[in-house]
Amino acid sequence: MKFGILLKEGPYNHQAADTAYQFVKAAMARGHEVEAVFLYNDGVYNVTNLASPPQDDRNIVQRWSELGDQGVEILSCIAASKRRGIADEVLSRNASITGLGVLTDIAIRVDRLMIFGD
């Protein structure tokens, strides 16, 4: 099956980014294709390369970059990003900024759009 992920909260404050990540890993392990993780609302904070969490904690921003290496598109909504100061110059590896039209295409194309948030 084809999956898309819509993540509506930033890292750490809510569990949403953790649950979404674990879901993506499990879906890929079951042989599914996860097309994209689309970041909306405060979810756009998942792709700032200015984050540097303590060494003994998970690095949520880096997790998304690593999923990018495995072919998952990491997409941040342009309107939500601009509002919150997420721009190309602070974008983490493998992330890109795009429009809600792309989310619409994803929603149309995938078998399941999974939503994670608060």
The residues carrying an active-site annotation are: 77
Count of CB atoms within 10 A of residue 23's CB? 15
Residue 62 in contact with another protein, rule: CB under 8 A: no
CA distance 73 to 71: 6
Residue 50 in contact with another protein, rule: CB under 8 A: no
Nearer to another protein, 90 or 115 (CB): 115
CA distance 55 to 46: 17
Binding mask 76-115 for another protein (x = CB under 8 A): ---xx------------------xxx-xxx-xxx--xxxx
Residue 29 in contact with another protein, rule: CB under 8 A: yes
Residue 40 in contact with another protein, rule: CB under 8 A: yes
**Shortest approach of another protein to residue 22 CB, angstroms?**
5
111 CB-contact burial (10 Å; exposed 0-12 / middle 13-18 / buried 19+): exposed
Residue 116 bridge partners (DSSP) = 7
Nearer to another protein, 49 or 102 (CB): 102
Q: CA of 8: how far to CAs of 23, 39, 55, 58, 80, in Å? A: 15, 6, 25, 19, 10
CA-CA-CA-CA torsion sign (52, 54, 55, 56): negative
**Shortest approach of another protein to residue 36 CB, angstroms?**
14
Judged by CB under 8 A, the number of residues near another protein is 35
Residue carrying the six token digits 């995938």: 110
The residues that touch another protein, with contacts defined as CB under 8 A, are: 1, 3, 6, 8, 15-16, 19, 22-23, 25-27, 29-30, 32, 40-41, 79-80, 99-101, 103-105, 107-109, 112-118
